[in-house]
């Protein structure tokens, strides 16, 4: 059998490993060790049928499995995810899930069997309809102040231990309406981090109508699609959105904010949900 393609000694709680490096700085060379973010193939299957392989950080995998299943509309609620089995393989990790048979048949009908990348979870989708899946329009969403959003943003960096160690990961975070961070999940892939957050929020019964989402990445179409699918109505991204993401957010009733940083932010859709100052 072949050698391992990933290091199983990677701590599932830290998501990183130590590697020897040559550090060049100020004209000198130092032989040292550095923390490197783990990135491994994670295969997901439903009812024994392979569905997708994602490259992801091997931590918070229970959250990942549940969040992916919800944000991709494979299941409608956590109660439909009957079992989750996580197995270590030579080449990576396999997550086997059991769902109601009608749901499994719906997956087959969509004919979606994709190989995901850490940068794009839609790569390999076979049908245009699968890419442009339109979530239900959100009819209710909370309003927040700009001050609350920036309070959450200012506390986010310290809540990313994996990125502080490696400098290589994205985060998806959930804040309450007052700007207090409630949950953070990290991954080398921005959409993986979001799926992990969705799974964690669902497992902890956090109300998506009582807070807002923060992304340390750009707001792509898929990020808006996943968020709207699970009922998140307000997204603040540190980087820019794409035109297709703005179009989807507008049509789905999602408030989309980009360039959310210390010195300001840009509201692209449904600005009525942002109040500029605390009252």
Q: What is the pLDDT of residues 58-104, one digit of tens each?
A: 999 999 999 999 999 999 999 999 999 999 998 899 999 999 999 99
* Helix ranges (DSSP H) in the chain: 61-71, 101-110, 128-131, 146-156, 161-166, 190-203, 221-229, 243-252
**At a CB cut-off of 8 Å and minimum separation 6, what does 66 contact?**
78, 81, 84, 198, 199, 202, 203
Q: What's the pLDDT tens digit per position in 177-192?
A: 999 999 999 999 999 9
Select the more confidently predicted residue: 242 or 276: 242
Q: At what angle do helices 221-229 and 243-252 cross, to 10 degrees?
A: 20
Q: Which candidate, 114, 117, 133, places its Cα nearest to that of 125?
A: 114
- pLDDT given for residue 140 in this prediction: 76
The gap from C-alpha 223 to its chain's centroid, in whole angstroms, comes to 8
Task: Tell me what the pLDDT averaged over the chain comes to.
Answer: 89
Cα 140–141–142 angle (5° rounding)? 135
pLDDT of residue 134 exceeding 90 = no
Question: Picking from 99-113, 149-163, 178-192, 255-269, which range would have the lowest pLDDT averaged per residue?
Answer: 99-113
Select the more confidently predicted residue: 116 or 93: 93
- pLDDT given for residue 160 in this prediction: 97
Give the integer Cα–Cα distance in Å for 279 and 272: 16
82 touches 96 (CB < 8 A): no
pLDDT of residue 227 exceeding 60 = yes
pLDDT average, residue stretch 6-33: 80
Q: How confident is the model at residue 4 (pLDDT cuts 50, 70, 90)?
A: very low
Residue with tokens 């669902």: 202
- pLDDT given for residue 1 in this prediction: 27
pLDDT of residue 243 exceeding 80 = yes
Question: Picking from 8-22, 139-153, 204-218, 255-269, which range would have the lowest pLDDT averaged per residue?
Answer: 8-22
pLDDT of residue 125 exceeding 80 = no
144-275 falls under which CATH superfamily? Cytidine Deaminase, domain 2 (3.40.140.10)
pLDDT average, residue stretch 111-140: 61
Q: How confident is the model at residue 7 (pLDDT cuts 50, 70, 90)?
A: very low
Phi, psi values for residue 41, rounded to 5° = -70, 130
pLDDT of residue 206 exceeding 80 = yes
pLDDT of residue 202 exceeding 90 = yes
Work out the percent of the chain whose per-residue pLDDT is above 70: 86
Distances (CA, A) of 134 to 49, 105, 120, 144, 272: 25, 20, 18, 25, 23
Give the integer Cα–Cα distance in Å for 112 and 225: 17
Q: Which residues are annotated as catalytic?
A: 120
Distances (CA, A) of 67 to 27, 210, 217, 234, 272: 47, 18, 18, 18, 29
pLDDT average, residue stretch 199-204: 98
Extended beta strands in 1-134, E state: 16-25, 28-37, 40-46, 49-56, 83-88, 93-98, 114-115
171 touches 156 (CB < 8 A): yes
Q: Is 261 exposed, middle or buried (0-12, 13-18, 19+ CB in 10 A)?
A: middle
- Count CA within 13 A, CB hemisphere, residue 267: 15
pLDDT of residue 112 exceeding 50 = no
DSSP 130-178: HHT--PPPP-----EEHHHHHHHHHHHGGG-HHHHHHS--EEEEEEETT
Give the integer Cα–Cα distance in Å for 150 and 133: 31
What torsion do the CA atoms of 204, 145, 229, 197 make, to the nearest 10 degrees? -40
């Amino acid at each position: 059998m072949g050698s391992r393609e990933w290091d199983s000694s990677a701590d599932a709680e830290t998501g990183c490993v130590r590697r020897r490096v040559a550090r060049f700085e100020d004209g000198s060379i130092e032989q040292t060790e550095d923390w490197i973010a783990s990135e491994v193939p994670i295969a997901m299957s439903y009812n024994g049928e392979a569905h997708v392989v994602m490259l992801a950080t091997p931590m918070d995998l229970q959250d990942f499995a549940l969040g992916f299943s919800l944000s991709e509309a494979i299941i409608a609620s956590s109660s439909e995810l009957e079992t989750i089995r996580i197995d270590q393989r030579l080449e990576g990790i396999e997550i086997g899930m059991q769902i109601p048979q009608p749901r499994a048949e719906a997956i087959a009908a969509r004919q979606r069997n994709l190989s995901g990348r850490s940068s794009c979870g839609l790569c390999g989708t076979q049908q245009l309809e699968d890419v442009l899946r339109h979530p239900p329009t959100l009819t209710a969403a909370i309003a927040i102040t700009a001050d609350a959003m920036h309070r959450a943003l200012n506390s986010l960096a310290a809540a990313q231990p994996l990125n502080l160690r490696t400098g290589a990961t994205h985060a998806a975070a959930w804040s309450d309406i007052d700007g207090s961070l409630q949950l953070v999940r990290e991954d080398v892939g921005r959409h993986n981090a979001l799926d992990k957050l969705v799974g964690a929020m669902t497992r902890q019964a956090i109300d998506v109508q009582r807070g807002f989402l923060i992304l340390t990445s750009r707001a792509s179409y898929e990020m808006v699609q996943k968020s709207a699918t699970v009922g998140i109505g307000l997204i603040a991204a540190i980087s820019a959105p794409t035109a297709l993401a703005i179009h989807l957010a507008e049509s789905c009733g999602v408030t989309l904010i980009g360039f959310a940083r210390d010195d300001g932010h840009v509201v692209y859709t449904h600005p009525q949900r942002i109040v500029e100052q605390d009252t």
